[in-house]
Amino acid sequence: MSRFRNPLFWTASIYPLLVCSLLHAQVAQPRLNQLSPIGAKRGGTVEITLTGTQIGQATGLLIDGGGIAVESISIPKDRPNTALAKVNIAPDALPGVRTVRVLTKFGASDRQLFCIGAYNEATEKEPNNTRDKAQEIGSLPITLNGKSDGGEDVDWYKFKGQKGQTYIVEVMAARLESPFDSVLTIQDAQGHELTINDDYYGTDSFLSFTPKADGDYYVQIHDLRYQGGGNFFYRLTVGVIPRVTSIFPIGGQAGHGVNLEKHGYNLGGATSQPITLPNDTTLSQTKVGVMQADGSLITFPFGVSDLYERNEIEPNDLLNRADSLPIPCVMNGRIAPIPNSKIPDTDYFRFKGEKGKKLVFEVIAHRLGSRLESQIYVRNLQGSILTQSDDNSREADQRIEFTPPDNGEYILQIRDLYGKGGDEYPYRLSATEATPDFRLTFSQDRLIIGQGNRAPLQVTATRLNGYNGEITLDLQGLPAGVVLLTPPTIPAGRNEVFLVLSADAGAQVKGQLFRLIGRATINKQKVAHEAQARETTQRENNISTLPRELATVSVTEPLDISISLSMEKITLAPGESKEIVVKVTRRAGFNPKVPISVLGVPGGVTVTVTPVEVPEKQTEVKIVIKAEGNAPLGEFSFVVAGRSLNEDVRPYFYAAPPLLVTIAKK
């Protein structure tokens, strides 16, 4: 069983759980619920049906990666929440999973996933829920698009197999965020079970098998719990096809060349491939296209660093055969037992430590598609454990900090939690001194601003190893007419800021991609990191934030409300308080209550909102700002924001112009 990453939660002030019903004709955020089909072969044209809230207002699509062009978008007259997009997929488009968002006049939608395949495609044909009614597969290879209808639905497929050929049978469902948890079985013509697989790529199944005789063979596929429904879709690929299942290494140094080892089935002798990584040190991850024996490409995530890198030197599976580990460095290794050995592999590395100087060791594997569930230990030269990763952690990629008690040499050990290993268990081991640094995230991943209005953007810094300095924020790709009203910085000692972006009344209605880069000077060195966009999601009663691609800023027509303040600058003495009126201007016909949040208030200052929401049909609330007796002197700004209640867990957010507060002695 895999461990999962701990969910990160938005602050309650900006993203509370909404429990409400559809209210008073408010403008709903675009929500993309479903794509059909969920994938298509490259080198052709496909019409994708997109359904969801406001999708009938579609003006365009955003799809990550190259090789896809949108030819047209149309709206069926009888289906107002549907759009039909005709897209051309280039013959050399990289196969794999792509992110799709729909652009509308009400902003960009949330995202769904679409898969580009390399083989002919077909659709499941019911009834095929018993062996005697198995759907016959014609020419191989092929990708079949099917779904589980529930009620103990089992799908059967039949194909002609040839002796000595190695067939690949692969399911893609969980990797497309389908809840379908596949179980895959191969049977011969007599009904003998030849092989079975449940989980391989997460909960997606994968099998390879070589028939011992020509004849009919059967593929059985069903959900593990025999659940189903319209969203329990899957893609099933069958054929004698080349399949690179893993590469090594799984990362490299920015701007440098890497020679990839390829592992898998039907490779035709092509077991290596040189690549060159982009010279962009703000990246921590990219994608690489790996060539297969038939000329098709398969996409793998690939780590990027700006450190010296090298590959482990085997044998290093015993304490006294530990490989050397220079610091700083990224070591590329693999947990792979000796063939036919029943002893689990473990890798040992010898490194030098300086008394009192903290070191950081981090495994980067699972997030790059490796099957490794890592454990790491630091030992002394006699083998005693000095520190280790948390075995109860839900993280598959482990990280530890170690401060050497004395000058000398130590041992770093890495293994798989369950004693497994093989070509598909590669890892990157980052070994660095605990130097000051930072990482950035931002929410929302799709910022929506009405013409003449403003919206807040939360930026969070994770400060590492004592770095408390200022971080400059560089927002790239904002639409024309969108400007930043707040300083583009995270001040020294702060972990988050709330920016306010404003759209001119005449700004063009459009949405586009944007990036946020954080920059700082640390120990006289210029450091830059790209911020990771995050989306808040809800499943049952759990709300969490997850990394997302294709961050967008959209300008829309005027929306439900706008927020202003009775004054935008105030001066307070320590111990003094002042009252400000928050004014809400409503769109005609929009009368619901409007919850108010105050964001980014620093220590030493308290803000009270009375009441906490603008009542129905009313337009004002009051906030009282008090500087406590210990409030630090100086200037700062904070943000007053509101939200339009919506049946969607993601409402629109609106911001007043930032309030500038000066605290000074009388």
> Which tens digits make up the pLDDT trace of 300-315?
999 999 999 999 999 9
pLDDT recorded at residue 24: 46
> Which amino acid does the sequence have at 267?
L
Domain boundaries in the chain? 31-117, 120-239, 243-305, 309-433, 437-556, 561-663
- The mean pLDDT value of the chain amounts to 91
pLDDT bracket for residue 337 (50, 70, 90): confident
pLDDT bracket for residue 538 (50, 70, 90): low
> Could you confirm whether domain 31-117 is CATH 2.60.40.10?
yes
pLDDT bracket for residue 26 (50, 70, 90): confident
pLDDT bracket for residue 582 (50, 70, 90): very high
What tokens appear for 218 in the block? Answer: 């059967």
Architecture category of domain 309-433 in CATH: Sandwich (2.60)
DSSP 391: T
Q: Cα separation of 93 and 99, whole Å? A: 14
pLDDT of residue 297 exceeding 90, the answer is: no
Q: Are domains 437-556 and 561-663 of this chain identical in fold? A: yes
Q: Which CATH superfamily is domain 437-556 in?
A: Immunoglobulins (2.60.40.10)
Q: Cα separation of 109 and 445, whole Å? A: 10
Q: Cα separation of 666 and 573, whole Å? A: 6
> Which tens digits make up the pLDDT trace of 539-576?
555 666 788 999 999 999 999 999 999 999 999 999 99
Architecture category of domain 561-663 in CATH: Sandwich (2.60)
pLDDT of residue 20 exceeding 60, the answer is: no
Whole-model pTM: value is 0.85
Helix (H) or strand (E) holding 410: strand 408-416
What tokens appear for 586 in the block? Answer: 């409503």
What tokens appear for 340 in the block? Answer: 């036919």
Backbone angles phi, psi at 132, to 5 degrees: -70, -15
Q: Is 268 exposed, middle or buried (0-12, 13-18, 19+ CB in 10 A)?
A: exposed
> Could you confirm whether domain 120-239 is CATH 2.60.120.380?
yes
CB 444 within 8 A of CB 109: no
Strands 285-291 and 297-305, sheet pairing: antiparallel
> Which tens digits make up the pLDDT trace of 404-414?
999 999 999 99
Q: Is 494 exposed, middle or buried (0-12, 13-18, 19+ CB in 10 A)?
A: middle
Neighbour count for residue 133 (Cβ, 10 Å)? 12
> Which tens digits make up the pLDDT trace of 586-644?
999 889 899 999 999 988 999 999 889 999 999 999 999 999 998 999 998 999 999 88
Most confident of 22-36, 425-439, 632-646: 425-439
pLDDT recorded at residue 545: 75
> Which of residues 423 and 280 earns the better pLDDT score?
423
pLDDT bracket for residue 11 (50, 70, 90): very low
